[in-house]
Amino acid sequence: MEELREKLRAELIKKGLPEELSNYIAISNESEIEGVLNDLVKLQNPPIKNFEDFLKENPEAKREYDRKVSRAIETYKKKSTKPLQEEDNGAAPEWAKTLFEQFKELKTGFETSSKKSIASDLWSKADLPASIKNNDEWFNKLIDLNSEVTIEDQLKQAIELITPLKQEVINASVSGDGFPSPRGDNDEPTDAEIADIVN
């Protein structure tokens, strides 16, 4: 008898049926196993592959599902755009005020660090002298992270401010011997001046 039960259990597993059914089915010989399995398979509903297939095969269920999803979306929109419920005294609940303040602080911190990151990246790529580019004091003086003016525009203004200063420094630079050049920027040395230096 136990041998028949083991064969039935093995056949149940092959057909994808729960093997525990073998404990509830009474058979007296091996030929009954095939008939019992066929009856069990017929009793089973055909398996549904997934929810989408179920909706395709049942148009009424699809209409009902679509209606419920649409209603859920509308409810969500109403609730998410609805202002905070006010307490009896006309003010927002204390927990909401606290939550809102914490959110504002987080948002401000995130925006500031994001702006600082973007500004630092643009500053490092800008056409500025290294002495200014590598100096945090200049960055803090010329770039205001809390300004309404965009970081790009602030950087353009900084370059426009620094470029003439840079040119003045270049123009006021000293000649090779450490003394200011007696000539203007565009004056070429004369042959006599060259001869004096070479001889």
What is the reported pLDDT for 31? 85
Q: Which residues pair with 174 in a beta bridge?
A: 180
Q: Quickly state the pLDDT bin for 172 (edges 50, 70, 90).
A: low
What is the reported pLDDT for 152? 84
* 180 DSSP assignment: B
Contact 158, 142 (CB under 8 A): yes
Candidates 196, 193, 169, 195; CA nearest to 182 is 193
Q: How far apart are CA 15 and CA 9, in angstroms?
A: 10
Q: Quickly state the pLDDT bin for 46 (edges 50, 70, 90).
A: low
The predicted-structure confidence for 11-32, as pLDDT tens digits, reads as follows 888 888 888 888 888 888 888 8
The predicted-structure confidence for 53-70, as pLDDT tens digits, reads as follows 778 888 888 888 888 988
Domain ranges of the chain: 2-43, 47-74, 116-175
Dihedrals phi, psi of 84, to nearest 5 degrees: -55, 140
Q: Which residues contact 122 (CB under 8 A, 6 or more apart)?
A: 151, 152, 155
What is the reported pLDDT for 86? 47
Q: Which residues pair with 180 in a beta bridge?
A: 174
